[in-house]
Amino acid sequence: MEKIYDIAVIGSGPAGLTAAVYGRRAGKSVVLFEKETFGGQMNLTGEIQNYPGIRSVSGAELSSFMTDQAMDLGADAEFGEVVSVEKSGGIFTIKTDGEDFFSRTVIAAAGVVPRRLGLEGEEKLIGAGISFCAMCDGAFYAGKDVAVIGGGNTAVEDAVFLSDICRKVYLIHRRPSFRAEKLLVEKTEKKPNIEFVLDSVVKTLVTGADGKLTAAKVEKTSGDGQKSDLLIQVSGIFEAVGRIPSNGIFRSLAECDGEGYIVAGENCITSCEGFFAAGDCRTKDVRQIATAVSDGACAATAACRYLS
């Protein structure tokens, strides 16, 4: 007879690892699915200084701490990509690229993937000049010149946040105007150290001898269609061109919003009984390691109540 787990957690970022910890401490059998590396996007952060109780830790170290805790408590780990999740007769079937698994509940903690610019050398510069989170990494660029790329609310909010930390902030957008809310744009206009670079696209990332970012080559289009090149000297670039929730396999199970995020409140309960969503993949306002950990605890607690 096939083993049926109490809780299946899909994704091993901070939300998924916390869910595994809480599930095991409640005496439930837990299987944790991961297709790449335990810790998820957390591993891309060179240094974390805003996680309560730990003054400074690398993303890789914090991932290791959380992973060890979940494994020491007896969570099973399965490496491979989950290709589908189906529910029948109160049991979920989790199909991977290798075999099928069964569980009474499922916690989706698959996270999101930041959209990339697609530039040469971009991946190598993550943590060495390129960041996707101003709130997480802004302090590392205190007193320095940085750029924010994007034209939506996130980009404009990041620029305002960074303007209080950095010497100068270039706000680079490929269109002649921002998509962000008017009030947010007006905030940036009042900041003397924010410079708009509109109708512009970053074409090349420039690095120094130490391999860190030193500048960005930008192509700017003028009103008559003529193009010109700018070299902007910056120590950091914050990419805010969107995130993609990794929820494709869950859309047939539970309600998702227009952007693909699973609709779930602070209790992490979705429209499908026995199916919960935790971390960045659910609808929420703040996406941080601390809030992901909170979600993991809430989702596992909700799953245990469902099982009781």
Q: Which residue blocks in the chain are alpha helix, DSSP H?
A: 14-25, 59-72, 134-137, 153-163, 182-189, 289-307
Amino acid at 219: E
Say which of 6, 76, 133, 295 is annotated catalytic. 133
pLDDT tens across 103-151, in order?
999 999 999 988 899 999 999 999 899 999 898 899 999 999 999 999 9
Say which of 137, 158, 280, 295 is annotated catalytic. 137
| Pairing, β 100-108 against β 275-277 | parallel
Topology agreement, domain 4-114+243-307 and domain 123-239: yes
Residue 137 among the catalytic residues: yes
Residue 304 among the catalytic residues: no
The per-residue pLDDT of the chain, averaged, comes to: 94
Closest CA to 126 of 171, 81, 59: 59
C-alpha to C-alpha distance for 98 and 78, rounded to whole angstroms: 10
Say which of 68, 97, 136, 295 is annotated catalytic. 136
Provide the 3-class DSSP secondary structure of residue 106: strand
Label residue 1 by pLDDT band (50, 70, 90): low
C-alpha to C-alpha distance for 17 and 34, rounded to whole angstroms: 10
Burial (CB count <10 Å: 0-12, 13-18, 19+), residue 19: buried
CB atoms near residue 273 (< 10 Å): 12
Residue 203 has pLDDT above 90, yes or no: yes
Closest CA to 141 of 169, 117, 108, 165: 165
Reported pTM: 0.76
Question: What's domain 123-239's superfamily in CATH?
Answer: FAD/NAD(P)-binding domain (3.50.50.60)
Q: Are 168 and 195 in contact (CB under 8 A)?
A: yes
Q: What's the first-to-final CA gap in the chain, in angstroms?
A: 23
Class of domain 4-114+243-307: alpha beta
Domain boundaries, the chain: 4-114+243-307, 123-239
